[in-house]
Amino acid sequence: MEGTYGTNNVGFSLYHLMCEDNNGESQHVAQYFTKTETKGALSDFLRIFTETNDVSITKVTITDKDCSEIASMEQYFPKAEHILCHFHIIKSVGDRLKKKVDG
C-alpha cells in the first residue's frame, strides 16, 4: 500500500493497493481517496477491500514507515509478514543524515 501526499489542490491523499499476480507481475487492484490519513480511514479502505476479495493467501505486505498504514495492514492481513519498502528506508535514512549534517 502506498499513499500520495500533497499531489492535488483539495488536500486529499490517494492510496494505491497493489498485488503480485501468478506471473510475478504487479497489478493495481484498488485506489482510495481520503482526507485524513488515520488508521481508521485506512482501515475502512482495507475492510471494504478484504470483504470483497479473498486475501487469505496474502503472505507479505509492504508499506513505508507510516504507523497508520502498518497497523491497518496488520489488522486486515494478520497472517501476512509485514516489511518496509526498501526505497522508503533508503530515502528516510538519507533525509535523517541530511538533517544531521545541515543541523
pLDDT band at 7 (very low <50, low <70, confident <90, very high): confident
Rounded to an integer, the average pLDDT of 71-90 is: 90
> Does position 81 have pLDDT exceeding 80, yes or no?
yes
Other C-beta atoms closer than 10 Å to the C-beta of 46 total 22
> Does position 5 have pLDDT exceeding 80, yes or no?
no
Residue in this structure with the C-alpha cell 479502505, named with its chain if needed: 45
pLDDT for the residue 103: 66
CA angle 59, 63, 68 (to 5 degrees): 110
Kindly report the pTM of this predicted structure.
0.76
Task: Read off the pLDDT of residues 56-72 as tens digits, 9 standing for 90 and up.
Answer: 989 999 998 888 889 99
Q: Which domain holds residue 8?
A: 2-102
Task: Read off the pLDDT of residues 25-50 as tens digits, 9 standing for 90 and up.
Answer: 999 999 998 888 888 999 999 999 99
pLDDT for the residue 18: 92
- The pairing of strands 13-20 and 2-4 is antiparallel
Q: Which cell numbers hold the place of 98? A: 541530511
Q: Which cell numbers hold the place of 67? A: 504507523
pLDDT for the residue 66: 84
* DSSP notation for 90-101: HHHHHHHHHHHH
Q: For the chain, what is the domain count?
A: 1
